[in-house]
Structure 1
Amino acid sequence: MTEYAVSARPRAELARPGMADEALYWLRDVLGTVAPRDPRSRRLGPRRYRLEILAEVCDRDTFLLVTSWLGSEAVPAVKSKQAYADDIRLWAEVARELGGHERFFVGAITPGMIETWTKVQKAKGKAPRTINRRLSVLTALSQYAKWKTKDQSIASPVTKHDRPKVDPRDETTATPILEVPEFQAVVNAATTPRQALVPVLIYTLAGRVTECCTAGLHNLKESSGKRLLDLRRKGGKGRVWTLPPRLSDLIDVAADGRAGGQLLLDDNDQPMDRHAVDRLLNRLGRLAGVLPGRDLTPHVLRASKLTHMHDAGVPVEEIQEYADHAAIETTLRYIRRRDSSTRKAKHAAAAVAVYDHLVDRFVPRGEQE
Structure 2
Amino acid sequence: MAAGRNRDVERTVEDFLSYEHHNRGLSDHTCTAYRHDVLDCLATVCPDGSALDDVTLDDLRAWMGVRSRQVAKSSLARQVIAVRNFFAWAAHGGTIAHDPAAALRIPKAQSTLPEVLNERQAATLMDTMDHEVEEPADPTDPRQMHDYALELRDTAMLELLYATGVRVAELVGLDLGDIHEDTRTVKVTGKGDKQRMVPYGVPAQHAVRAWLDHGRPVLAQASSGGAVFLGARGGRIDQRVVRQVVHDAAAAAEVPDIGPHALRHSAATHMLDGGADLREVQEMLGHSSISTTQRYTHVSIEQLKGRYRQAFPRA
TM-score relative to the length of structure 2: 0.73
**Matches of residues 1-369 of structure 1 in structure 2 within 5 Å?**
59=9, 61-74=11-24, 76-78=25-27, 81-96=28-43, 99-100=46-47, 110-124=56-70, 126-147=71-92, 149-151=93-95, 153-157=97-101, 159-160=103-104, 162-166=105-109, 170-171=111-112, 174-187=113-126, 188=128, 192-221=151-180, 223=182, 226-255=183-212, 256=214, 258=217, 261-291=226-256, 296-340=258-302, 342=304
Secondary structure of residue in 2 paired with 1:313:
coil
- Which of structures 1 and 2 has the larger relative contact order (alpha carbons within 8 angstroms, sep 6+)? 2
In structure 2, give the amino acid aligned to 1:299.
H
Matched residue of 1:305: which SS?
Answer: helix
Q: Structure 2: where are the runs of 5+ without partners?
A: 1-5, 134-150
Identity of matched residues, %: 19
Q: CA deviation at 1:139?
A: 0.8
Consecutive unaligned residues in structure 1, runs of 5 or more: 1-55, 354-369
Q: What letter is aligned with 2:282?
A: Q
Equivalent residues, number: 282
Rounded Cα–Cα distance in structure 2 between residues aligned with 1:105 and 1:179: 55
- Between Structure 1 and Structure 2, which shows a larger proportion of helix residues? 2
Maintained 8 Å contact 1:202/1:212: yes
Compute the displacement of 1:319 (Å): 1.9
- From the superposition, tell whether residues 128 and 218 of structure 1 become closer, same or farther in structure 2 (CA, over 3 Å): same
**Cα deviation, residue 73, structure 1:** 3.0
The one-character-per-residue Cα deviations of 1:189-231 (angstroms, maximum 9, x if unpaired) are 57601111222111111112222211111223454xx454333
Q: 1:108 to 1:232 in 2, by over 3 A?
A: farther
Contact 2:46 2:55 in 1 (8 A): yes
Secondary structure of the structure 2 residue equivalent to 1:72: helix
- The alpha-carbon deviation at position 251 of structure 1 amounts to 1.5
Contact kept? 1:58, 1:92, Cα under 8 Å? no
Going from structure 1 to structure 2, the CA distance change for 1:273 and 1:89 (only over 3 Å counts) comes to: same
Shift of 1:241: 4.2
Structure 2 distance, partners of 1:109, 1:282, is: 47
CA distance in 1, matches of 2:118, 2:55: 45
